[in-house]
Amino acid sequence: MLLETFAFAALGVAIGTFAGVMPGMHINTLVPMLLSLSAFAGSPLNAATLIVSVSITEMFLNQIPAIFVGAPDADTAMSVLPGHRLLSEGRGYEAVKLTVIGGLGSLMLSLVFIAAGAGTFSFLYELSRPYMHFVIAAVVAFIILSEKEPRKMASAALVLLLSGMLGVLVLNSSVLRQQDALLPVFSGLFGLAGMIVSFNESSSAPPQSDNDAERLGIPRMDIAKSIVFASFAGILVGFLPAVGVSEAAVLTQYLGGPSTARGFLVTTAGINIANDAFSLMSLYLVGNPRSGASVAVQKIIGELTLYDVVFLVGVMLAVAGLAAWMTLRLGRTVPKLLARVHYKTLTSAVMLFITSIVFAITGASGLLVLFTSASIGMLCNTLGVRRSHCMGVLLVQTMMFFAGLNPIIISILNIQ
For the bound state, the minimum distance from the C-beta of residue 292 to other proteins, rounded and expressed in Å, comes to 6
Q: Which is nearer to other proteins, 136 or 227 (CB)?
A: 136
Per the document, the length of the chain is 416
Beta-carbon contacts of 62 under 8 Å, excluding residues fewer than 6 positions away, are 19, 20, 21, 73, 75, 76
Q: Which is nearer to other proteins, 16 or 366 (CB)?
A: 366
For the bound state, the minimum distance from the C-beta of residue 350 to other proteins, rounded and expressed in Å, comes to 21
For the bound state, the minimum distance from the C-beta of residue 158 to other proteins, rounded and expressed in Å, comes to 8
For the bound state, the minimum distance from the C-beta of residue 233 to other proteins, rounded and expressed in Å, comes to 16
Q: Which is nearer to other proteins, 128 or 365 (CB)?
A: 365
* Whole-angstrom distance, CA of residue 408 vs CA of residue 70: 36
SS3 126: helix
CB atoms within 10 A of CB 398: 22
Measured in degrees and rounded to the nearest 5, phi and psi for residue 133 equal -70, -30
* Whole-angstrom distance, CA of residue 333 vs CA of residue 350: 18
Q: Which is nearer to other proteins, 101 or 192 (CB)?
A: 192
The rounded Cα 208 to chain-centroid distance in angstroms is 24
Q: Which is nearer to other proteins, 158 or 230 (CB)?
A: 158
Contact assessment for residue 383 and residue 160, using Cβ atoms and an 8 Å cutoff:
no
Q: Which is nearer to other proteins, 28 or 260 (CB)?
A: 28
For the bound state, the minimum distance from the C-beta of residue 154 to other proteins, rounded and expressed in Å, comes to 12
For the bound state, the minimum distance from the C-beta of residue 368 to other proteins, rounded and expressed in Å, comes to 6
Cβ-based burial of 412 (10 A; exposed 0-12, middle 13-18, buried ≥19) = exposed
Residues that bind other proteins (CB under 8 A): 28, 162, 165-166, 169-175, 177-179, 181, 241-242, 244, 286-292, 295, 299, 365, 368-369, 371-373, 375-376, 378-379, 382-383, 397-398, 401, 406-407, 410, 413-416
